[in-house]
Amino acid sequence: MKIHSNDFRVKPGKKVDLKEWPTIRTSYFKTKDEYQNILEAHVGRLSELQQLHYASGRYALLLIFQGMDAAGKDGAIRHVLSGVNPEGCEVFSFKQPSAEELKHDFIWRTTCRLPELGRIGIFNRSYYEEVLIARVHPEILLTQNLPKKSLGDASFWRDRYRSIVDLERHLHRNGTQIIKCFLHLSKKEQAKRFIERIDDPNKNWKFSQADVNEREYWPKYWEAYEECLGATTTRHAPWYAIPADDKENARLIVSQILIEAFEDLKMAYPKSSEKHLRELQSIRKALTK
């Protein structure tokens, strides 16, 4: 069964209701071996495209992952990009802002980590935290040294969405292809994964009481994600709502989305000038002697 990335693309201009977006769907594979074969084929194709991407040097690719705790962000990054040359790819995880970062606007710390042309940048969480976790926990805003007037402004969140959309439009105009993946996890599946982390000593480090505490805010997070996805998905920087209850299926969907994004760029290897070709032939001739 073929994966169609448009099945998961959040269309601009429509109100988002996450109840209409499944957290699990029919599997694209029947056996573990079939899954491995499909994933390996995707990883191999991504490796080819990344090499072409690096050589052409005309575009940058920014891949953003957002989702609730245990949604599978780390696993998707590790498996999907396992074949990519590390020299052409960088991964950044954004946690609680530092004192230095709080002295700047809310997008500054991620802007410093944007990928160069020819490279892939991966954000495990991103500037979107500032319209997600900060919206669920507005007390966070009190630590950001914002003007008092803006905190009471009814348009505060709308202005932040606009700042994000303006940034992404600017990046797109200057050659950065942006892919945003919301890993859509059910509350039931999250509980299952939390229990696995508790039962497996090698995964205990991934879990804390704070993770459980955040589950109390699940309805508020859903509302924040619905508002965010609806306000910031655009033609040039789309959101993809990926069913994440099945980790393997989610990885295949993410890898297919990336392949299509690369292929849409219509990249080509740089062409050598006539002068350069003559130089190469001259060097080749000398090497064969």
Per residue in 25-80, pLDDT (tens digit) is: 999 999 999 999 999 999 999 999 999 999 999 999 999 999 999 999 999 999 99
Note the pLDDT of residue 24.
96
pLDDT level of residue 278 (50, 70, 90 thresholds):
confident
Residue with the larger pLDDT of the pair 22 and 1: 22
| 75 DSSP β-pair partners | none
Whole domain around residue 149: which residue ranges?
5-288
Q: What percent of the chain is predicted at pLDDT more than 90?
A: 79
pLDDT band of residue 20 (cuts 50, 70, 90) is very high
Mean pLDDT, residues 4-9: 95
Looking at residue 10, its amino acid is V
Residue 152's pLDDT is what? 67
Provide the number of structural domains found in the chain.
Answer: 1
* CATH code, domain carrying 152: 3.40.50.300
Tell me, what's the pLDDT at 206?
84
How confident is the model at residue 277, as a pLDDT?
A: 81
- Crossing angle of helices 156-173 and 218-232, rounded to 10°: 50
278 or 118, greater pLDDT: 118
At 179-191, the pLDDT tens digits run 999 999 999 999 9
Average pLDDT rounded to a whole number, residues 93-112: 93
* 227 pLDDT tier (thresholds 50, 70, 90): very high
Query: Strands, E, within the chain: which ranges?
Result: 9-10, 60-67, 89-93, 120-124, 176-184, 239-243
d(CA 284, CA 70): 54
Alpha-carbon gap, residue 175 to 55, rounded angstroms: 15
160-186 residue pLDDT tens: 999 999 999 999 999 999 999 999 999
Give the pLDDT confidence score for residue 179 in this predicted structure: 97
pLDDT of residue 63: 97
3-class secondary structure per residue, 269-287 = CCCCCHHHHHHHHHHHHHH
Q: Do 153 and 133 touch, CB atoms closer than 8 A?
A: no
pTM: 0.93
